[in-house]
Structure 1
Amino acid sequence: MKNDILKVRNIGISAHIDSGKTTLTERILYYTKRIHTIHDVKGKDGVGATMDSMELEKERGITITSAATFCEWQNHEINIIDTPGHVDFTIEVERSLRVLDSAVLVLCSVGGVQSQSITVDQQMKRYKVPCIAFVNKCDRSGANPFRVIRQLKEKLGHNAVTMQIPIGLEADFEGVADIVAMKAVYFDGEKGDDIRVEDIPESILPEALEKREELIDAASMFSDELMEAALEDSVTEEMLMSAIRKGTLTRALTPVFIGSAYKNKGVQPLLDGITNLMPCPSEVENRALDLDNNESELILSSEPKKPTVALAFKLEDGQYGQLTYIRVYQGNLAKGDTVINVRTGKKVKIGRLVRMHANQMEDIGKIPSGYIGALFGVDCASGDTFVAPGIRLTMTSMYVPEPVISLAIVPKDNKAEISMSRALNRFCKEDPTFKVFVSGETGDTIISGMGELHLEV
């Protein structure tokens, strides 16, 4: 584990239903050499995508829990939090956004900006998450990435800038033209492994130059150096990228990449975009509330020598007991440390630390600040903060939406009642939007949650 915080990216891939998010994640894992073959989401090969590790998800072809997984690209470590895209699971999305430093917004080049994209986008605004967009499925008929970019501006109010233009569209989609470097990029080989860089074809050169002008105009707002260079016509790639990065980090620009994950095109440039444009943990301001000081806000620093502050953002029942996903914001968390759970005031000794890859794990000795890992056998609820003894800080409590749908449930017999209450208890602990109560009028057990799909799960 290389500990260079500047080379760490914590990203979420958040998207509209079926815009191809899980397929994109799968390709990212493949190109970063984390998995060696590619499986499709609704597994025709009987395997299913690597991120959807729950059986239920394989059967339905949707993503439910945000599995945190880790990969490396160009010496950068990328932690991907796979967030659910259906409205019913908004608490999961909220929770993963607290933990991310940045996000990739995946949009379908045919469907464009849909209702859920708007919900997710409001959540990103609330947590000030910088993002880049990826317009996927450019190989489908009716694909029109420029319409999607226009919708990003009009419907979501993003200052969206085109980083690439497509070379051919729909069935003729061949590759992308990178308008920062002014090169055409093609993805050869059965799985798009061999990247071939050539000059931009004559037919789209005028369009590429025009889009490049627009990009420089938008980016020069963030760099005087670039503005001067633009007037003298001496813009370099580095200058342009650093200006775009400045704009992206303050959420004032949203760079847009295009491709087709299913056809293995455009994924590697997106990875370059993530490493070049997205913030590292020390560039993001994380605030905590100081309980000794009337909940006043404190800014955490990612110094490893400071006292530890970490947030448990997700619980799962693994085969070895409760698995707690955790993000360290300050200091580091090592095996054998004693930390305090701020909510309960109890001391917790850290036993086994692991780093997750969808559903396999590797053991590690410590989690430094800015990193994401998981703990075993620690009793806590999601949203709990762990701190070093001697300080009382809590990461801001998360905003929990009111449940929108309720159902009455009745167990078959006495034995079923015991196991039902056990299961419901676990759901309540894992998911704050899930509520259970006994109706005073009918004596039925009532459960309420964020939608039919949510309750069915």
Structure 2
Amino acid sequence: MTIVSVLRLSVIKKNIITSNVIHKLQKCMCSQANVDHKPLEKIRNIGISAHIDSGKTTLTERILFYTGRIEEMHEVKGKDNVGAVMDSMELERQRGITIQSAATYTIWKEHNINIIDTPGHVDFTVEVERALRVLDGAVLVLCAVGGVQSQTLTVNRQMKRYNVPCLAFINKLDRLGANPKRVVSQLRSKMNHNAAFLQLPIGLERENKGVVDLISQKAIYFQGDFGESLFYDEIPNHMRTECADYRHELIENLSNVDDTLADLFLEEKSISEGDIKNAIRRTCIKRTFTPVLVGTALKNRGVQPLLDAVLDYLPNPGEVENFALKEKEGQEPQKVILNPARDDSYPFVALAFKLEAGRFGQLTYMRCYQGVLKKGDNLYNVRTMRKVRIARLVRMHSNNMEDVNEVFSGDIFALFGVDCASGDTFVTDKNLQLAMESIFVPEPVVSMSIVPANNKDRDNFSKAVARFTKEDPTFHFYYDSDNKETIVSGMGELHLEIYAQRMEREYNCPVILGKPKVSFRETLIQPCPFDYLHKKQSGGQGQYARVTGILEPLPPNKNTSLEFVDETVGTNVPKQFIPGIKKGFLAMAEKGLLTGHKLTGLKFRLQDGMHHIVDSSELAFFLATQGAIREVFEDGIWQVLEPVMSVEVTVPDEFQGAVMVQLNKRHGIITGTEGTEGWFTVHAEVPLNDMFGYAGELRSSTQGKGEFSMEYSRYSPCLPETQEKLITEYQRSMGILPNKEKKKN
């Protein structure tokens, strides 16, 4: 036994551990553990995930403090202007929110714990997505007042997608209105978790003093200046009946999903602490049971038992089945189970899950799933087969790097100078054609126009956009040729606003964000025949072409496409000129004559025509087709289509009326509603042109509790007043209405 272990045992024999002793002890253990090669059973990879403002970063700060990783704790919105360790970005400290997921590692009871603290805001959901992709377990933090909220449901879906076992930690027991029993009820009803308390709080709100461990049947009090001293005592008399009932409920819930414990329960045999803990571990790893722990991170209560639960119930990398796909030509990809043994008996396989621009170039975060990687080894990107030599291996502690000489299966680490994309697989054996399943990336929901405030900053603007689009797969940048403007798309207005501020801070390039133009479309209401002759003869070879047919609207389910049909019979229109007619139709469809937007939902039926043996050419038929479309604009009845979005809004019940009024004002059509335990969800279809600015309006009218998501649904005819406005604006821009607006005849 090491000196550290002896020292630890001698100190733990006392009920109260002084803060000075424990911190010296933990720092000594951390320094010793960093050079140890830990066995697989001593490794945990966990993420801290939750709805916004549930206390994830505060909880991570306490974990790092109690494990001796940091010397002192700071608050997310502290008065000392320091901020939490994991919020390393200046914007995070100013706003008091997590923007980027941050990785760290620490030691607790001789176990190496890799932790990723993730954002809670829906705008940064991809950070949670890629963190959960590479983690073996997670801590789902819930607010004792807010309970299961909209982003909690999103995180739960992400955990389910990657089959990640989790513990639930009900935080903020000290807040007014805290009700952990209601939260567990929501876990069961809203998220379908088989959840039960492992602990009960001793008092709530101001009266909260500690927790009762239902398994060991002991009360735990957190003493000392920072709650670092654990004092174990008997369960308070007034709680004994309640604790017995909840312990029985815990055993019942476990018996429903664990055969071993069910046999003991049905045979009425005595069930020991070890039996319960083993059953929790088995069922938690299978995701058939969710253990619920309680505490308040801000008041330093309940964190150490949570760390113990992470070691006791969440899986180590060897207990999680990870696989890669081996592709062979002409065959379905085969699943290959990866071996997590922490030695070099199996070839190295790792997944790049996050990219970040560091001080020394691109920093690539990776998770090792098999084998060993040493400094100086060569790596191959399976997608591109590019070779890269590893000059430096680091492990991350927020934005600080700590060099290591080798990494093993189960480790999370980072590399410099690797040109890759998020989701790429890396191997050391060039012939090992294995590719790991990539990361799910949601589609952006909000778009805004963007332009540098000063033209001289265009170079910096290009660098910033290139970097951010590579780091964040939900941040899109493109040039809209319809409307002649550059557009950025993201997961929300806050998402885009953060990137605009980062461009100014990090690249000295202030930008202007604005409401983008909506991509309207033009289409016909009813079929319109055409018969157009293009004739130009002025000496020499002339141009002669005639096209006859019908331009008709497509059904509503095809109103975003264009169709060209050749119905000609005979040789009036030679077949070699048909491509020219089609090109003429598609060229005219690029810009309509009504509002200047693209034409869609049209079927061009070419029925007949005429040609000249000398003067006809592909160009002549191209121009004849364009003339025919112009004629149809004069004779046909046209309408403007606009994109309609499918919108889902989730708010507490008390804001139901306000949300309905907002959607009606924005010309929304309610398609369905549902409600569960104090929350109301409305489904609606709203024109995109009316959705700009809705995120801010919704948050202000629901005290920040409301959230919405939207995705493209279809194109639909716009309102007459909208069409009239678009026509007037287009005519003015073309110089048709120079001074006054003229009413359309």
- Give the alignment's TM-score, normalised by structure 2: 0.60
**C-alpha displacement at 1:78, in angstroms?**
0.6
Per-residue deviation, residues 13-50 of structure 1 (Å, max 9, x unmatched): 00011011100000000000001111000121111000
One-letter amino acid of the counterpart of residue 353, structure 1 = L
Note if contact 1:222-1:246 (Cα within 8 Å) is conserved in structure 2.
no
- Indicate which of 300, 311, 321 corresponds to 2:361: 321
Q: Which residue of 2 aligns with 1:82?
A: 117
Q: Percent identity?
A: 58
Amino acid at match of 2:285: L
After superposition, the C-alpha distances for 1:322-379 in whole angstroms (9 at most, x for unaligned) are 2111100011111111111112210111110011111222110111001101112222
One-letter amino acid matched to 2:307: L
1:283 to partner: Cα distance: 0.6
Alignment of 1:282-297 (within 5 A): 282-292=318-328, 294-297=332-335
Structure 1 residues 259-286: Cα deviation after superposition (integer angstroms, max 9, x where no partner): 0000000000000000000000011111
User: Shift of residue 222 of structure 1?
Assistant: 4.7
Contact kept? 1:3, 1:368, Cα under 8 Å: no
1:134-177 deviation digits (Å, cap 9, x = unpaired): 00000111111011000000001111111001111110000000
Which residue does the alignment assign to 2:457? 416
| CA–CA distance in structure 2, aligned partners of residues 113 and 225 of structure 1 | 31
Residues 416-425 or 262-271, more deviating: 416-425
Offset at 1:228?
4.0
Q: Which residue of 2 aligns with 1:370?
A: 410
Higher mean C-alpha displacement, 222-231 vs 443-452: 222-231
Larger mean Cα displacement after TM superposition, 443-452 or 269-278: 443-452
Counterparts of 1:223 and 1:294, CA distance in 2 = 36
State the superposition RMSD in angstroms: 1.3
Give the one of 130, 134, 137 matched to 2:172. Answer: 137
> 1:176-325 to 2 correspondence within 5 Å?
176-230=211-265, 231-292=267-328, 294-303=332-341, 304=343, 305-325=345-365
- Asked whether the equivalents of residues 257 and 289 of structure 2 are also in contact (C-alpha less than 8 Å), the reply is no
Q: Deviations over 1:180-202 (max 9, x none)?
A: 00000000011001100011011
The secondary structure found in structure 1 opposite 2:190 is: helix
The residue that corresponds to 1:354 in the other structure is 394
Aligned to 1:343: 383
What's the CA shift for 1:130? 0.4
Aligned match for 2:145, one of 96, 110, 130:
110
AA aligned opposite 1:423: A
Match of 2:56 in 1: 21
SS at match of 2:452: coil
Question: CA separation in 2, counterparts of 1:226 and 1:46?
Answer: 51
8 Å CA contact 1:40–1:48 kept in 2: the answer is yes
Separation in 1, partners of 2:37, 2:201: 36
The corresponding residue for 1:428 is 469
Residue identity in the other structure for 2:360: Y
Rate the CA distance shift 1:223–1:412 in 2: closer, same or farther, 3 A: closer
Matched, 1:438 2:479: yes
Residue pair 2:257, 2:288 contacting (<8 A) in 1 also: no
CA distance in 1, matches of 2:454, 2:264: 77
Bigger mean CA offset, 194-203 vs 425-434: 425-434
| Aligned residue runs from structure 1 range 133-172, under 5 A | 133-172=168-207
For 2:240 and 2:165, locate their aligned partners in 1 and report how far apart those are by CA, in whole Å: 30
Amino acid at match of 2:369: Y
Q: Matched residue of 2:167: which SS?
A: strand
Q: Aligned to 2:100, which of 49, 57, 65?
A: 65
How many Å separate the matches in 2 of 1:298 and 1:225? Answer: 31
Displacement of 1:432 after TM fit?
Answer: 1.3
Give deviations 1:78-137, integer Å, cap 9, x for gaps. Answer: 100111111111111111111100110000001101000001101111111100100000
Give yes or no for contact 1:222–1:243 (8 Å, CA) kept in 2. no
Letter in 2 for 1:119: T
Query: C-alpha distance in 2, partners of 1:94/1:257?
Result: 24
2:420 corresponds to 1:385: no
Which one-letter code corresponds to 2:315 in the other structure?
A: P
Counterpart Cα distance in 2 of 1:224 and 1:105: 26
Whether contact under 8 Å (1:311, 1:385) holds in the other structure is yes
> In structure 2, the residue corresponding to 1:453 is in which secondary structure?
helix
Quote the Cα distance in structure 2 between the aligned partners of 1:344 and 1:248: 38
Residue 93 of structure 1 is matched in structure 2 by 128
Contact 1:67 1:81 in 2 (8 A): yes
Work out whether residues 351 and 436 of structure 2, in 8 Å CA contact, stay in contact via their aligned partners in 1: yes
Report how far residue 223 of structure 1 moved. 4.3
Separation in 2, partners of 1:359, 1:431? 17
Q: Which amino acid aligns with 2:338?
A: L
Which amino acid in structure 1 is aligned with residue 176 of structure 2? S
- Secondary structure at the aligned position of 1:410 is classed as strand
Deviation readout 1:364-398 (Å, 9 max, x if unpaired)? 01110011011122222221111122111111122
Under a length normalisation based on structure 1, what TM-score does the superposition of the two structures give? Answer: 0.98
Letter in 2 for 1:297: K
Letter in 2 for 1:42: K
CA distance in 1: counterparts of 2:231 and 2:269, whole angstroms: 28
State the Cα distance separating 1:233 from its structure 2 match: 4.4
Report the AA paired with residue 314 of structure 1: K
Residue 443 of structure 2 aligns with an amino acid whose one-letter code is: E
Structure with higher Rg: it is 2
Counterpart of 2:371 (choices 324, 331, 335) is: 331
Specify the code of the residue in structure 2 equivalent to 1:312.
A
Task: State which drifts further: 232-241 or 361-370.
Answer: 232-241
Aligned partner of residue 156 in structure 1, secondary structure: coil
C-alpha deviation, 1:414, in angstroms: 3.6
**Could you tell me how far apart the structure 2 residues matched to 1:381 and 1:427 are?**
12
Instruction: Tell me the secondary structure at the aligned position of residue 101 of structure 2.
Output: coil
Match of 1:37 in 2: 72
Count, aligned residues: 457
